[in-house]
Amino acid sequence: MLNRLRFGENAQGEAARAIELDPNDPEAQIAMAWALTTTGKPSGALDFVQKALRLDPNFPSHYVLAHGVALFATNDLEQAAEVFDQGAKKNPNATALMPPFASVLVGLGRRDEARRKLLMWRPGTSQAALEDLARDYQFPIRWAPEHKAVRERLLDGVRAAALPLDMTVSSLTAELKLGDPASRRIAAKRLGWFGPAAAEAVPALVVLLEDVRVREEVVQSLRKIGPAAKAAIPALVAMENESFIGSYAKDALKEIRGY
């Protein structure tokens, strides 16, 4: 059922028809959960996940994925981590759970555990290869365009999980003040992967808004930091009518202001 449904504009309708045809089909319930999660209604998705779990007490691991990601989308990271942990113990071969599990753990500040989850996903991987795998990782479900920030946050957490543990928000903030523009660009982008946890980098990022060579990455990271980046508002307002960067500045202002 999951593979037959298109997630996006018509997803809810298709899932509703599947449930109407067979209310006791747990796959139809999971399809509706995904449809709701990917269209900005993850709290509603949890009811359908719970029904699927009741209908199939021996549920497969993709039910765990739907459950954990719905919780992630509601920002209930503690419960999401518990769901992924129990799912992984129930089915140790379900390594596809490890990247989103790692992303949740990064959000909780548990980067050492997050890294271990990625290495369970790809055992024996070198540092460089792990970063490449995380960078190229694609979550199998897509969100409706207006809600794609949740998917972006999930992927960013996977990328942060792959970074060396000694690469922290503090060390990346220091890199913003050193080195060539390419190094500063990389540091700015990586800070965005940490989301709100990178709040201490905001003053340094604001200074870099004056450098057109790194400005795009800086604006994107300020957007991901969100309300904690309020100090950047005056500089972003001054940029919002500029060509190219202006649209990014407007998106960042929307996230930072919360409306």
**At 1, is the pLDDT very low, low, confident or very high (cuts 50, 70, 90)?**
very low
| Predicted confidence (pLDDT) per residue in 210-236, tens digit | 999 999 999 999 999 999 999 999 999
Cα–Cα distances (Å) from 140 to 3, 42, 62, 218, in that order, read 10, 17, 11, 28
Residue by residue, DSSP assigns 130-146 as HHHHHHH---SS---GG
pLDDT in tens, 133-162: 999 999 989 898 889 999 999 999 999 999
Structural fold of domain 2-162: 1.25.40
For residue 228, what are its two tokens? 């904690």
Number of Cα atoms under 13 Å in the Cβ half of residue 190: 23
pLDDT-derived band at 2 (thresholds 50, 70, 90) equals very low
Q: What is the pLDDT of residues 46-72, one digit of tens each?
A: 999 999 999 999 999 999 999 999 999
DSSP secondary structure string for all residues of 44-110: HHHHHHHHHHHH-TT--HHHHHHHHHHHHHTT-HHHHHHHHHHHHHH-TT-GGGHHHHHHHHHHTT-
Q: Which helix (H) or strand (E) holds 175?
A: helix 169-176
- Out of 1.10.101, 1.10.15, 3.40.50, 1.25.10, the CATH code matching 169-257 is 1.25.10
What pLDDT is recorded for position 8?
A: 53
Q: Interior CA angle at 223 toward 222 and 227, to 5°? A: 85
CATH 1.25.10 domain span(s) along the chain = 169-257
Task: Outline which parts of the chain fall under CATH 1.25.40.10.
Answer: 2-162
